[in-house]
Amino acid sequence: MVKNGKPEVKSGQSELVFASLGGLGEVGMNVYLYGIGPAENREWLIVDLGITFPEGENDPGVDVILPDVRFLEAQRKQIAGLIVTHAHEDHIGAVLELWPRLQCPVYVTPFTAGMLKSKMADYGRGRDMPTKVIPLDSRFTTGAFDIELVSVAHSVPETSGLILRTPHGTVYHTADWKLDPTPYIGTPANPARLSALGDEGVLALVCDSTNAMREGESPSETDVADSIAKIIAKAPFRVVVTTFSSNVARIKACYEAARQSGRRLVVAGRTLHRVIEVAIETGYLPRDFTWSDQQQFKYFKREEVVLLCTGSQGEERAAMARIADFQHPDISLDRGDLVLFSSRAIPGNEKGIGHIQNSLVRAGCEIMTDSDGLIHVTGHPRRGELRQMYGWIRPKIVVPMHGEARHLMANAALARSLGVGEVVPAFNGEMVRLAPGPARKIDDVPVGRLFRDGNLLVPEGEGPVRERRKLAFVGMAVASVVLSRKGELVADPIVELDGVPIEDAEGESILDIAYDAVEGTLKSIPPGRRRDPDLVEDAIRKALRGAIHQVWGKKPICKVLVSVVDMR
């Protein structure tokens, strides 16, 4: 059947579709779905299940943000498995918390398995999760999916692109990647292997877009290691390096630089300790890798120390933030110490990073970022690397992934300029049919966010986080009134204000204004009608909010407690 000039898929006909619950239109919280089968009975493969981080005042009290997987929960019996491409938190961070809702096999490589196991020990979750450890560059099947791993360079060991062979054609899912012939740790991408895949024939390339707006090619991780070693060798006092804790190559570079310059490596931050232990167990760091814990910091001379610590993204509770605010129990810096921010700011984290850097500068420390020297390199492909990938794979279809809207569209434009016939930019919740017929958006799936609020997961659009956002802007007024069953006032009302100014523009107490509003409202209600506590509560709330709004210009959240007691 042809409709509007395009072939239509018959009802009940098998399709190959792609969708995302996170990662399309944002950097982080990656969750990608591939489906095979007719619309009413598809089998699903989940690729990655990650988290993202709260955006300061927009998410008060939120620890991390997880994807809403209600669509997958409804399809749970049709899930063939979850495969994790690498151990970054934006790809693996939600696995332990959300797996109970999915109950599917989880496929990981050895280093990623070690990171999951370590997280299980820390958080006490996931011990009954059926984790299947698969070798690098291996091939296996789960359900209708024939999956082959392709090792690529990235900023964490064992990152794997995925070849998905299906009855409808082959898809290459790049994962996060870059072209680095000397990655310092791990295996570089194999151009011959990727070119052979292109010769085999690739229906669709689903491709990392993070650096699609940047021309050229990324420097090598080995070049960064050499640069850091030279900087540390010349530094007169302490050198502090803060980076992503999962960047094992950067950890090794700091270790080697410390050894070469006759210094001691001190490590601060639980996550770094965990990564180091897993990297030693899986062979990515040498067995004789030695470091000192943060408690030993004060016993070393300034010129003896290379301090490696967490907090490169401005996280409030990480080691770097506590050091900058002079709140760390074991570590303090002095004038002339050098701090290397060996990472790039994730969008949204600029404010927190700036606060830390400003605090360090005020304390007399020297700051170096990747704008000042080669101390960080991206783990994602620039436009030159993307061109090489498109040349090797030669796909019929490109779906840009992993990036904000501007990154996805830049990747899409590049693909079109290179002659790719079908380019389909999509965003979270949009389902793309890859085959049969032309690639296009055909449906929507429900998407959303879950907030980890303490020990609980709460939906984004309801509950305490929304209330806290409002509290941050307008404060709260609370009134308590005690009445008899006859509607008589038993005791004087009590009013408390929180987050509300003390005085109005004329210098009058806003608390007194609030008391006047409550007492005036009570007097205006006849005793007989005061027997209805709901009526009293509603009247006082409106009067209290209105009185404060009149003098302040903002309406606080108002809570009114009406208690009714027996008078004998």
- Read off the pLDDT of residues 216-253 as tens digits, 9 standing for 90 and up: 999 999 999 999 999 999 999 999 999 999 999 999 99
Report residue 417 as tokens: 């300029």
CB within 8 A of 198, min separation 6: which ones?
A: 392, 393, 394, 395
Per cent of the chain over pLDDT 90 is 83
- The pLDDT value given to residue 1: 39
- Count Cβ atoms within 10 A of the Cβ of residue 140 and give its class: 0-12 exposed, 13-18 middle, 19 or more buried: middle
Residues β-bridged to residue 408: none
Identify the pLDDT of residue 57: 65
Q: How far apart are CA 314 and CA 320, in angstroms?
A: 8
List, for residues 250-290, the tens digit of each pLDDT value: 999 999 999 999 999 999 999 999 999 999 999 999 999 99
For residue 531, the SS3 value is helix
pLDDT of residue 528: 86
pLDDT, the chain, mean? 93
531 phi and psi angles, rounded to 5 deg:
-70, -15
Q: How far is CA 529 from the centre of its chain?
A: 54
Average pLDDT on 12-32 reads: 95
Residue 61: pLDDT band (50, 70, 90) is: confident
Give CATH superfamily name and number for 15-138+166-206+380-459: Ribonuclease Z/Hydroxyacylglutathione hydrolase-like (3.60.15.10)
Using pLDDT thresholds of 50, 70 and 90, give the confidence band for residue 4: very low
Question: From residue 483, how far is each of 221, 278, 566 by CA, in Å?
Answer: 73, 64, 9
Q: Which of 162-176, 364-378, 554-568 has the lowest mean pLDDT?
A: 554-568
More confident residue, 218 or 1: 218
What's the pLDDT band for 487 if we cut at 50, 70, 90? Answer: confident
**Out of 1.10.357.10, 3.40.50.1110, 3.10.20.580, 2.60.40.10, which CATH number does the structure's domain 475-565 have?**
3.10.20.580
Residue 443 in contact with residue 525, Cβ under 8 Å? no
- The answer on pLDDT for 92 being more than 90 is yes
Q: What is the mean pLDDT of residues 462-484?
A: 87
User: In 31-58, which positions are buried (b, 16+ CB within 10 angstroms) versus exposed (e)?
Assistant: bbbbbbbebeebbbbbbbbbbbbbeeee
Please tell me the predicted confidence (pLDDT) of residue 568: 65
Domain-wise residue ranges, the chain: 15-138+166-206+380-459, 221-368, 475-565
pLDDT at residue number 122: 76
Average pLDDT of 404-411? 97
Contact by Cβ (8 Å): 567, 484: yes
Mapped onto helix, strand or coil, the DSSP state of residue 187 is coil
Q: Do domains 221-368 and 475-565 have the same CATH topology?
A: no
Maximum Cα–Cα distance across the chain:
93
When the candidates are 3.40.50.10710, 1.20.59.10, 3.30.420.40, 3.40.50.10860, the CATH number that belongs to 221-368 is 3.40.50.10710
